[in-house]
Structure 1
């Protein structure tokens, strides 16, 4: 059997590919576990500064959860379904959302259900003009369970999100761009180069500052503004004694490029 994900590192960027093209890269439990293990490896590797996540094949980023597998958990009852399916999926999207290195989805095709929830959770996303999105869980008689009822309204607004969640209708990448689900739409052949270009625009900066910004934004979105400002202050305070802040300031004063350390 093929590995459920493919994983390679080049020029400080890790490329993770969801690798079940015959199943439209559906998210079975093994794929989720392998993805989480890859993130564990990347997190402690100072040679990796950014992550690009995409799907294998020409048809799909991910068509969502593996219905054949999770239906077995549902048949075993509520506790099993929550433990094996919901908690596993929510842990995956929460891990992607809170990851201290930028994660960019390169959305190359169908992005339904759990695939859309991954796109909602990651920090940035670029869509191919061939991408198609949908929140089809309602057609199965259920809500999204990997965070879709919470993250999509925060991105798109309540009414626009509810229309997508309650109808299950597919929508094109231009609509995904308009509602804030993706950052840009590019020709299909330019998808991975565009994702790498965006990653390189980020990793030229201090890795510690990048991580601090991601943490402050991710945590602050779920707080009142006063609490969020405290998180922002804490993230800055942690950088005050660091090499990166001192180097960034000195480089600016001396009109030269900064020399940041890894990790």
Structure 2
């Protein structure tokens, strides 16, 4: 079994670690494929309610794509590069974005290129005060290809995103917080505890409601308000006959803590 991505499950939280520290956790094809397989496993595991995604070592969350491997794909032609690199990376970030269990990035160091695009795609992100972000693809003579030209403008606004995309210059955690790329910046030693605390505050609620909110927000962002409201209504309709909604209402009326079953 590949160890380029590690999985540790405790207290209903899956800690997923990108594990190529000697390569600054660069996203080679093996790592992306392993991450996708673990997400498939986590999705159907009722014992896992949230995911924390981080990088091995103290230097990097992920420095981005594995450039030597990507370069080899480019040399084999456009069709190969699009199939092996672009589609694989976009499938990864789309999977993270649409995952119905909350995914929290714990950005422990460099988050360049694809590492920044993962941060853009996940639902929530906490950054170490030692983290550093960049959109350096422009220096390679190319645009971002894992969704960065689409998600960053939606988070930061068009002009702020274009400045980062067109200069490729690194930016600090404070800037990432200012533009909405991360939710919080914490001292480095407090990063994983802060991520676990956030996950714990989320998973005390109904997993059905959590999934419905993530789906409604993720899909609705790319639609007009009328279509978004329809998605919101559909997610409520899924909850209406559930045990969790009945339990939540009954607990509220009785002034007691709810006990959710995920059904």
Query: What TM-score, normalized by structure 1, do the two folds share?
Result: 0.99
Task: Indicate the residue corresponding to 1:240 in structure 2.
Answer: 240
1-structure distance, mates of 2:94, 2:72: 24
Deviation at 1:3, TM superposition (A): 1.1
Deviations 1:23-43 (A, max 9, x none): 000000000000000000000
Is 2:165 aligned against 1:165? Answer: yes
Task: Report the counterpart of residue 79 of structure 1 in structure 2.
Answer: 79
Q: What RMSD in Å do the two structures reach over aligned CA positions? A: 0.9
Is 2:244–2:262's contact at 8 Å kept on the other side of the alignment? no
Q: State the match for 1:138 in structure 2.
A: 138
Q: Distance in 2 between matches of 1:24 and 1:174?
A: 22
**Distance in 1, Cα, partners of 2:10 & 2:261:** 18
The residue that corresponds to 2:188 in the other structure is 188
**Which structure 2 residue ranges, 5 or more long, are not aligned?**
none
* Structure 2 residue 195 is matched with structure 1 residue 200: no
Tell me the equivalent position of 2:93.
Answer: 93
Do the aligned partners of residues 12 and 262 (structure 1) sit closer, same or farther apart at CA in structure 2, a change above 3 Å counting? farther
User: Given that residues 90 and 146 in structure 1 are in contact (C-alpha distance below 8 angstroms), is that contact kept between their aligned partners in structure 2?
Assistant: yes
| Structure 2 CA distance for aligned equivalents of residues 82 and 58 of structure 1 | 32
Shift of 1:2: 6.8
In structure 1, the partner of 2:49 is: 49
The whole-number CA distance in structure 1 between the counterparts of 2:219 and 2:44 is: 21
- Compute the displacement of 1:44 (Å): 0.2
Structure 1 moving runs of 4+ over 4 Å:
none
Q: Quick check: 1:27 aligned with 2:27?
A: yes
Q: Does the Cα contact within 8 Å between 2:20 and 2:26 map onto a contact in 1?
A: yes
Shift of 1:262: 3.9
DSSP 3-state at the match of 1:155? helix
Matches of 2:39 and 2:3 in 1, distance apart? 16
State TM-score, norm by structure 2: 0.99
Alpha carbons 1:97, 1:218 under 8 Å: kept: yes
Q: CA deviation at 1:122?
A: 0.1
Whole-angstrom distance in 1 between the partners of 2:58 and 2:221: 35
Contact 1:54 1:105 in 2 (8 A): yes
For the residue of structure 1 that corresponds to 2:175, the secondary structure is: helix
> Is the CA contact 1:47–1:262 (under 8 Å) kept in the aligned structure 2?
no
Partner secondary structure for residue 46 of structure 2:
coil
SS in 2 for 1:144: coil
Write the distance in 1 (CA, Å) between the matches of 2:61 and 2:68.
Answer: 19
Measured in 2, the distance between the counterparts of 1:256 and 1:74 equals 60
Q: Distance in 1 between matches of 2:194 and 2:241?
A: 35
Aligned residues of 2:109 and 2:132 also touching (Cα < 8 A): yes
Partner residue, 2:120 = 120
8 A Cα contact 1:100 1:210, kept in partner: yes
What secondary structure does 1:199 align onto? helix
Mapped to 2, the partners of 1:82 and 1:95 lie a distance apart of: 18
| Preserved contact between residue 64 and residue 112 of structure 1 (Cα < 8 Å) | yes
